[in-house]
Amino acid sequence: MTTNEQILGRDEVDDLEAILSVTNEDVDAVVHAVRSNPDAIFTWDYERSRPALVKLYEKAKTSQWNAETDLDWSIDVDQEKVVLDNVAAQGGFLSSDIDLSDTPFGKWTEKEWIQLGIESQNWTLSQFMHGEQGALICTARVVETVPWIDAKYYGATQVMDEARHVEVFAKYLDSKLSGHYPINAHLRLLLDDIIADNRWDMTYLGMQIMVEGLALAAFGFMHQMTTEPLLKRLLRYVMSDEARHVAFGVLSLKEYYQELSGTEIRERQEFAFEAAVRMRDRFLQQEVWDRMGLDVKETIKLVMQDDGRKIFQQMLFSKIVPNCKKLGLLDAGDGWLRQRFGELGVIQFEDWVDTGEEYAMLDEVAKDREAAAS
């Protein structure tokens, strides 16, 4: 039986000390190399035998958009106003009544709270950008390693999508916000693990199901909350693509997992659990507390009592859990992953809509094209 220590490098999932000990030392490096050695797979079977992937590929071809011309970059962004609008929407800087009087927050004026909002936004968008680059690299990998021609075709469209996503987030950060953050150490650990694994379906599971599933939920949350029109449209367009990407993962792995043995499925369950924990750890946003000059550990203990934050963290799994269920990962074997998702407090999403079916509905780009044509 694999232990938490082997999967996560710590015994206790919630061991805050161990979580915070994961940091990036080389924050000034311009490149980061990950060693991996998967086989590049040619296929001589050109038969279009997977209609669901053919359909997805056709959809991807007609729903391409241009980051330069389909978004209105002339919109001015007042970051302070964006923060205050978010605060108003949430009903305060924190959403529940935690007594802050004996904490460093007790001395804060509106100025520090606004700065926190600005840093949080810079951090969040920076992590989106880095995650998108992870997707770009993973999808290029999938094109090489997946043995099915329909998946190679579709994957090629996703490479283009991901380049566009990196491009839009980088441009938004540079031209509308006020600073970058390096990649979060937990996100990097996860991306490294996905890329270092030579098995093609692990790239899919790590990226298409876990990272992109979480991104889709996070983008949805931010899209709903923000009043900033450029970011709103940018996120909505990115979500149109992401829903297809997650569907690509669900449709492909559903077929492939039917061939795998119980032991092989268990390895996938463990990988899904590892990814879930890494992503949860990253949302503690330790770098932001540090930049605000706060004691990181004490601050995290405090803010984790905030109900709004708890609900947000759980909501991030609202796409991942139903998709894992659809793949049979929740209940395979002795229901190991169901148990673990239960412990993480996210199993309640199991019967929410899975993305294998949702993607057409989320295609805003196609809707805009139709509206423009009529």
- Locate 58 and state its tokens: 């056709």
Rounded Cα distance between 15 and 284, Å, is: 13
- Contact with Fe ion (CB under 5 A) among 53, 56, 114, 135: 135
User: Which helix (DSSP H) or strand (DSSP E) does residue 320 occupy?
Assistant: helix 320-326
Of the two residues 212 and 354, which places its CB atom closer to Fe ion in the complex? 212
Binding track over 272-311 against Fe ion, x by CB under 5 A:
----------------------------------------
Of the two residues 170 and 292, which places its CB atom closer to Fe ion in the complex? 170
Short-list 284, 279, 346, 278, CA closest to 318:
346
Residues ≥6 apart with Cβ < 8 Å to 35: 196
Short-list 75, 177, 46, CA closest to 120:
177
Q: How many CA atoms lie within 13 A of 234 on its CB side?
A: 27
**Residue 326 binds Fe ion (CB under 5 A):** no
Of the two residues 245 and 340, which places its CB atom closer to Fe ion in the complex? 245
Of the two residues 134 and 322, which places its CB atom closer to Fe ion in the complex? 134
DSSP string, 284-330: T-HHHHHHTT--HHHHHHHHTT-HHHHHHHHHTTTTHHHHHHHTTTT
Least distance CB 46 / Fe ion (angstroms): 26
Least distance CB 165 / Fe ion (angstroms): 4
Place of tokens 């330069």: 68
Binding to Fe ion (CB under 5 A) within 201-220 occurs at: 212
First to last CA, the chain: 60
Contact 265, 257 (CB under 8 A): yes
Short-list 307, 306, 288, 286, CA closest to 297:
286
Of the two residues 19 and 247, which places its CB atom closer to Fe ion in the complex? 247
Of the two residues 246 and 346, which places its CB atom closer to Fe ion in the complex? 246
Give how many residues touch Fe ion by CB under 5 A: 7
Rounded Cα distance between 217 and 68, Å, is: 25
**Residue 365 binds Fe ion (CB under 5 A):** no
Least distance CB 111 / Fe ion (angstroms): 35
**Residue 250 binds Fe ion (CB under 5 A):** no
**Residue 244 binds Fe ion (CB under 5 A):** no
Binding track over 10-49 against Fe ion, x by CB under 5 A:
----------------------------------------
**Residue 363 binds Fe ion (CB under 5 A):** no
**Residue 358 binds Fe ion (CB under 5 A):** no
3-state class (DSSP) for residue 98: coil
Of the two residues 275 and 303, which places its CB atom closer to Fe ion in the complex? 275
Find the part of the chain contacting Fe ion (CB under 5 A) among 111-119, 164-172, 195-203, 324-332: 164-172
**Residue 245 binds Fe ion (CB under 5 A):** yes
Find the part of the chain contacting Fe ion (CB under 5 A) among 77-85, 245-253, 254-262, 295-303: 245-253
Q: Where do the H-state alpha helices sit in 146-228?
A: 149-176, 185-196, 200-203, 212-225
Least distance CB 94 / Fe ion (angstroms): 31
Least distance CB 116 / Fe ion (angstroms): 27
Contact 283, 313 (CB under 8 A): yes
**Residue 56 binds Fe ion (CB under 5 A):** no
Contact 337, 326 (CB under 8 A): no
Of the two residues 162 and 228, which places its CB atom closer to Fe ion in the complex? 162
**Residue 165 binds Fe ion (CB under 5 A):** yes
3-state class (DSSP) for residue 10: coil
Of the two residues 119 and 132, which places its CB atom closer to Fe ion in the complex? 132
**Binding site residues, Fe ion, CB under 5 A:** 132, 135, 162, 165, 212, 242, 245
